[in-house]
Amino acid sequence: MRALEGWLNSSGNRVAAELDERGEQICKLVTEQLKTSYKQMCIDPGNPESDEMRLQAYTESPRRMHRIVQVALRLRAVEVIERECIWTLQMLPRYGVVRQNMHAMVRWYFEAARTLSNIDSADRRSLDIIEGLFLTALSRPIPTP
């Protein structure tokens, strides 16, 4: 973790800027993967606004993740990842979003970030660690509110 802190101090802002420059492309790619892979996510047959909510979930979830990554990188505060994942685990299952959906989105986000951005191998290794923090936090038991 100490190595990650050092990297965040020296490179966090630069990598955040690079990812933010590509943020729209990254989020659009993840949105399309969510739409294709999880067509039933957030469907509530009794809610007439279900389709609109589902489309919003496909679009806003990657954007929210992008914002959390930006905060973690720019503020050197990976703790926000844990807090976001706790909220996610408590809130999203109510809407039919399961851990598999969450894990896939994290993997797709970081895959797109590595593919679409111009970052070097040291930065990629640190992004791998941050991806691991998300996946680990999303694998924990659901905390009670």
pTM metric for this prediction: 0.92
Per the structure block, which two tokens stand in for 144? 């009670």
Q: Are 97 and 30 in contact (CB under 8 A)?
A: no
What token pair was written down for 79?
């703790």
Confirm whether 46 is domain-assigned: yes
- How does pLDDT run along the chain (145 residues), one tens digit per residue? 678 899 999 999 999 999 999 999 999 999 999 999 988 777 776 777 777 888 888 999 999 999 999 999 999 999 999 999 999 999 888 888 899 999 999 999 999 999 999 999 989 999 999 999 999 999 999 877 6
Residue 144 lies in a domain: no
Count the domains in the chain: 1
Give CA–CA dist 54/81, Å, rounded. Answer: 24
145 is a domain residue: no
The residue type found at 96 is G
CATH code for the domain of 20: 1.10.490.20
- Residue span of the structural domain in which 98 resides: 2-139
